[in-house]
Amino acid sequence: MSGELKPKIGITLGDFNGVGPEIIIKTLADELLCNHITPIVYASVKVMTYYRKMFGYNDFQFHVIRSIDEAQAGKPNLINCWEEELDIKIGTPQGVAGSYAIRSLDLAIADAMQGKLDGIVTSPLNKSTVKIPNDTFTGHTGYIGSKTQGKPMMMLVSDEMKVAPATVHMPLSEVGSALNTAMLVERITALHNAMVKDFATSKPKIAVLGLNPHAGESGLLGKEEQEIILPAINQCKEKGIVIYGCYPADGFFGSGQYRQFDVTLSIYHDQGLIPFKLLSFEDGVNYTAGLPIVRTSPDHGTAYDIAGKGIASTTSFLNAIFMAAHIAANRQMNKGLTKSPLKFTQMKRERFRLDI
């Protein structure tokens, strides 16, 4: 962390035609939040003023700054990332919205990489509106990974469960060919390390799902479990990781067996995200493990259908802010304990405790 009791959390604007500006304003309008963190919003004064007036938050004001060095504790800070007038079309996908969402994101990433932020919370954007020169934008996770030279791994987190997909944004028809034992060992190891360092779980208990119905039924319904997944599990066991599987996904979630584990590795995106969103849609958080910086996000999209109506829930966004602060604190404690366990425990533990 940056060394202050109140962690500095950067908040990106996301798609200004979606619910991002609304949930930012509604969340930061609660003065109690600034008792625990120092928020820095990367956006436009003109855009946020437009929404602030539209939703009737006339008494709420951002502390406008030119750089993060001017941020003040106890206030919702806003770095004005551009001066241009933008044509806001609420609930409508626009290429210009994607462009400015990336500008906001890039500036926040730059500050985080310089150690000026303790974490980033990214507001939702629309992938189809983002155009990256000589590249394809597949989402926040991969983009931030490339910008930070990290090895990003998506994790969905709530009080009910934690789940991480081994493969993310790819067609289902390509998942089988994308799997190999070495890749799964790398994913499982990264997941184990994230649970230890970021979620302060000393011996995380990991479950791994199968790819096929009934986890392949001993090879009758597919051989990926026997030839790829189980060998990866066994290799991870040899490394001292507490891991079990592979489980048939339907029974695993339907019976509540997932509650016996600290985190679950699903093999593909919807296999893990459907049960997660069914149980935690309002309060879940999207966390990116494997990065040199801390990044969280609300577990929902731009929600164009309700944008501008003033009814968007702030629960997931607020949880994302708190989680970023807690993970930053956990990383700092883990780093301190590794270097000097006794000294850190005696002198610094209280300094990074977040009473939120």
**Token pair of 324, please?**
């970023």
Cα Rg of the chain (Å, integer): 21
Is the same domain home to 8 and 24? yes
188 and 249, same domain (yes or no) = yes
- Residue finishing a domain among 218, 250, 282: 282
- Together in a domain, 3 and 141: yes
Specify whether 23 is located in the same domain as 142: yes
- Same-domain check for residues 93 and 109: yes
pLDDT (tens place) for every residue of the chain, 356 residues total: 444 568 999 999 999 999 999 999 999 999 889 999 999 999 999 999 999 999 999 999 999 999 999 999 999 999 999 999 999 999 999 999 999 999 999 999 999 999 999 999 999 999 999 998 878 888 899 999 999 999 999 999 999 999 999 998 888 899 989 999 999 999 999 999 999 999 999 999 999 999 999 988 888 888 999 999 999 999 999 999 999 989 999 999 999 999 999 999 999 999 999 999 999 988 999 999 999 999 999 989 999 999 999 999 999 999 999 999 999 999 988 776 655 544 433 333 333 344 44
Residues 170 and 39 grouped into a single domain: no
Are residue 105 and residue 178 in the same domain, yes or no?
Answer: no
- Residue with token string 């109140």: 6
Beta-bridged to residue 295, according to DSSP, are: 120
pTM: 0.88
Three state DSSP letters for 44-88: CHHHHHHHHHHCCCCCCCCEEECCHHHCCCCCCEEEECCCCCCCC
Read off φ and ψ for residue 173, nearest 5 degrees: -65, -15
Do both 276 and 288 map to the same domain?
Answer: no
Of 228, 259, 282, which closes a domain? 282
Same domain, yes or no: 204 and 337: no
Specify the number of domains making up the chain: 2
Q: Give the separation between CA 353 and CA 349, rounded to whole angstroms.
A: 6
> 340 and 257, same structural domain?
no
CA distance 62 to 352: 26
User: Strand locations in the chain, DSSP E?
Assistant: 8-12, 38-43, 63-65, 77-80, 119-121, 153-157, 162-165, 205-209, 242-247, 263-266, 285-289, 295-298
Domain of residue 274 covers: 160-282
Tell me which of 282, 311, 334 is where a domain ends. Answer: 282
**Which region holds residue 202: left if phi is over 0, alpha if psi is between -120 and 50, else beta?**
alpha
